Structure 1
Amino acid sequence: MNSAAVIALCLPMAAHAQSASDMQGQINSLSAQLATISAKLQAVEAQQAREHAAEQAEAAQRKADAESLEMRQTREEAQIAAANAAAAKLPGLAPVRAEQQSLNTDYVSKGTLPGSFIVPGTDTSIRISGFVNLQGEYNPTENLGPKFSIGNLDPSGPARSATSGDFQFNSKVSRLVVQSSTPSPYGPITTNFAIDLWGFVSGGDYNQALQNNSYSARIVFAYGTIGPFALGMMNSNFIDNNDTPETMDFAGPAGLPAERTEQLRYTWTANKTSMVSLAVENPQSGYQDTRDNIEVASKTEPMPDFSLRYQYTTDLLHLQLSGVLRDIAYEDGYGHRTSHVTGATIIGGQVNLGALAAAFGQDNIGGQYWTGSIGRYIPDDFGGNVASVLAVNNGTTGTPQTIQTKLQDDQGFALYYQHFWLPTLRSTVTIGYNHDNLASFLPADTSNAVATKTVAANLLWQVVPTADVGVEVWLGQKQYQKSTGVTPQNAAKVLFGGVWHF
């Protein structure tokens, strides 16, 4: 019995000991797990500390690199300035003598114009630039010339069919540009000279030398500036180049005003966004009569053309309002002169959509509207009578005096949207419309266009920063005088090619 009692007492004690032992084991296991977790946390914190230190080191390195680059640019600019200043002291020194005096051993130094150099011995910067153009054209309807001159479209018939399915290459638009800038007490004195190969050729655009496709050079720009004044041949102050679509076709949409002319211009910059310019431009007018039914340049110009332009420019948009005042005159060959003081206006604008929302990127939309006696400011190849602001009723041969004259005004517009598919891939869609109010007394003539309409779309790829290639499709319609009995006629054109800048 005593043994049984001892056994009975020991059993609970043994069970309690077993329970304590199990608990201790669990505690030890938890402690081990906590130690493992703590070690992992310490490893993560150490990794984060290393990454933070690396980021700080990288940021410090970037800052040091930027400061180093800025110091290097400042140093190089100072060296260039010193070399240019030394170059200005060399007009009477031969190169070897200049080297001996260590004044300047480069001889060609960086100029003030982008991509320019300073002429040794002077403080004049010279820049030579331009582009080479090659354009292929296919005219399924009729050969309308190197531009899509829808106003020259013939009615359906043998004359049109004979030149349908026409193909050719041309490089007429290729251009050479030479610019200079010379400092003066009145600000930089600049000169700008450019030529291309779209000069006059007797017999028409395609009457070139058969063996070498020779072209004729012409002056595109030839003007100089000093302070706010500009003098010479340049784009008319009246037209709106800034709000013009990008097209491969040289003329652009139907009726788009485009003119270069000799002029004297004064430009006043009111503030960072507004600019006003006034120009006195070379007058040139034409007329179409009933006697010969041809366009003729007027023999008399009573006064120059006066143009006034206002431009407003911000990152978001560009706006232009311009007008021209003209005196259109006609001398009838019998000692009588008729004169009409008239004018025209243009309203244009472009919105840079990326400034509204980043999702638009570089996309832009714009256009312009024109009205009035524009005449030669609209390319003549949009209709045989467009440049003739004045219509003259002078009867037939032998009529002693003008019977009647009428100003023929135009109204038209061009709209476009440019989309960038990629930074180097872009497209422009454009439409154009022009209406000419022809005099009712003019004889029926299918060369006269009452209205012209065009629509175009292109795809341009900037292969490298200095070269673009692309393709462009045009559709157009010409409306004839009602007296001809010809219904509106349609035409098409496909262009492809490239431009290489230098």
Structure 2
Amino acid sequence: MRSIWIKRRLNVSIPLTKGGHTQSSLLITKASSLSYRLIALLFCLFAFTNLNAQNAQKLDSITPIRDNIGDLNEAAIRKGDFPGAIRLPGTDVSLAIGGFIKAVALYDTRYNEKNEILLPGTFSPENIYKGQTYMGAKASRLYFDGRSTIKDIDMRGYFEMNFTGASGFNLRHAYLELSNKKGQKLLMGQYWSLIMDLEAIPEGLVEPTISGLPFIRLGQIRFSTPLSKTLALSVSLEEPRNSDLKGVNMIPLNKYPLFVGSLSIDPSSIFHFSIMGMVRPMSFADLTDDSQNPATGYLSNATLIVKPNDANKLTLSGLYGSGASNYLLGADSNTGYFDGTRTELQTQHGGFGAYRHEWNDKFRSNFAYGMFVGDEIPNNPNPHIKSSTFAFINTFYRVNKYVNIGVEWIYSAKENFNGGKFINNRFQFGIQLF
């Protein structure tokens, strides 16, 4: 089963201000005003882009049947080797059920947690000790993909899970997507955040959790449209996750959604450029006087991809923000701190470079290096992250279009303010079927 998708995505940077403290009535008034303005902006963008999209050709790209992040057989999916859909009896609905099995064996020199996904931002004295050997297949996936068409609207319902959750199952994606012949799309459900440029994600054996990369799946409402043959725009409202805002006598609140904009430019098949911006309106309850307090974070991200031919791909990406830890790889769970008087958010920056080379029809290799850096949070007495580093090199052997075998080495390190530096090396081998 195949469908047309706007593969080139874009992002817009959005200026932000840093919030202070206020009483609950003032906060609610400001938040309401912000919400109304965001909704008005969404309507204006929809009206403007709808008029322009009528004269724009649909971007010519193919949507992978399944999520290609961490998928070693993504090339076979992209070429349509796995159609696999059936027509449900008595309906106009086509359904595909699929996935893959990925088995991994790894050795860590210091890390103790039995987790196939490596996150240097989570390193601590409790889990960096003597190392481990691990073997499993939790990164295997199962998906259901249903599609139908009503008049000129293509509808897609997609559900995907793996087995990394505490109870055995972990929901990766679950969304409904509507698209029209103008190339416009409306998506609602859980999917990769719009702050990410999916084309920039390097290829890793399990998942490439490289420092300095936005990387999160969120509930969202997203609208995407082509503006021209080479330009595409997307905007979204996304689910807030504010557990990284800490402090004394306070409770973080998840009242207001994120606003994310994305702009992508593809002047030719060789170059791809994108810019993304996120506004994060956080708030928390001060338990000493039962007041509500704002703390506005933001994040900007830019990516350049150069593909001179099918055998080579170079990616450069950088980000800058404040109070965005939950949305960044390499960060920890301390994005800001309230000491009872004032709130300080961490200023954050980072980025990565990646290079992919196809040696021949059977072998390919990837190299990537990324770094995250956070400023000290002045009023936070607890250890919190200063920097993290993540580098990997891997080689994959394509047995056939359904089987890939890979080896990978990962170096990862984290340094804290208030003491503590942790380093781990991971050596792993894996095989993916289907």
Q: TM-score range by the shorter chain?
A: 0.7 to 0.9
- Per the alignment, residue 430 of structure 2 pairs with 497
Q: Is the 8 A contact 2:119 2:209 kept in 1?
A: no
SS in 2 for 1:429: strand
Do residues 365 (structure 1) and 314 (structure 2) align? yes
- 1:72-91 superposed matches below 5 A: none
- Per the alignment, residue 168 of structure 1 pairs with 134
Do residues 377 (structure 1) and 343 (structure 2) align? no
Do residues 311 (structure 1) and 264 (structure 2) align? yes
- 1:318-333 superposed matches below 5 A: 318-333=272-287
SS in 2 for 1:173: coil
- 1:30-41 superposed matches below 5 A: none
SS in 2 for 1:146: coil
Equivalent residues, number? 345
- 1:113-192 superposed matches below 5 A: 114-144=83-113, 145-154=115-124, 160-161=128-129, 163-164=130-131, 166-192=132-158
Q: Distance in 2 between matches of 1:459 and 1:248?
A: 9
Runs of 5+ consecutive residues of structure 1 not aligned to the other structure = 1-110, 202-214, 355-360, 394-401
Do residues 272 (structure 1) and 205 (structure 2) align? no
Q: Is the 8 A contact 2:194 2:262 kept in 1?
A: yes
- Per the alignment, residue 297 of structure 2 pairs with 342
Cα shift at 1:274: 1.7
Q: Is the 8 A contact 1:285 1:375 kept in 2?
A: no
**Higher relative CO (CA 8 A, sep ≥ 6), structure 1 or 2?**
2
Cα shift at 1:297: 7.0
- 1:387-406 superposed matches below 5 A: 388-393=334-339, 402-406=340-344
Q: Distance in 1 between matches of 2:410 and 2:305?
A: 22
Cα shift at 1:251: 4.4
Change (3 A) 1:234 1:218: same
- Per the alignment, residue 17 of structure 1 pairs with none
Q: 1:436-488: CA deviations, max 9, x gaps?
A: 2231221242xx3210012110011111101111100011222221x32x4x4
Runs of 5+ consecutive residues of structure 2 not aligned to the other structure = 1-79, 180-184
Q: Distance in 2 between matches of 1:391 and 1:471?
A: 41
Q: Distance in 1 between matches of 2:251 and 2:198?
A: 26
Q: Distance in 2 between matches of 1:159 and 1:256?
A: 23
SS in 1 for 2:199: coil
SS in 2 for 1:237: coil
Cα shift at 1:257: 1.1
Q: Give the counterpart letter for 1:370 in structure 2.
A: L
Cα shift at 1:269: 1.3
SS in 2 for 1:422: coil
Q: Distance in 2 between matches of 1:159 and 1:497?
A: 23
Q: Distance in 2 between matches of 1:390 and 1:154?
A: 19
TM value normalised by structure 1: 0.65
Change (3 A) 1:265 1:444: closer
Q: Distance in 2 between matches of 1:123 and 1:159?
A: 52
- Per the alignment, residue 231 of structure 1 pairs with 188
Q: Give the counterpart letter for 2:293 in structure 1.
A: T
More helix per residue: 1 or 2?
1
Cα shift at 1:389: 2.5
SS in 2 for 1:480: strand
Q: Distance in 1 between matches of 2:110 and 2:358?
A: 31
TM value normalised by structure 2: 0.74
Q: Is the 8 A contact 1:135 1:498 kept in 2?
A: yes
Q: Distance in 2 between matches of 1:297 and 1:179?
A: 39
Cα shift at 1:234: 0.9
Root-mean-square deviation over aligned CA pairs: 2.3
Cα shift at 1:223: 0.7
Q: Distance in 1 between matches of 2:308 and 2:112?
A: 38
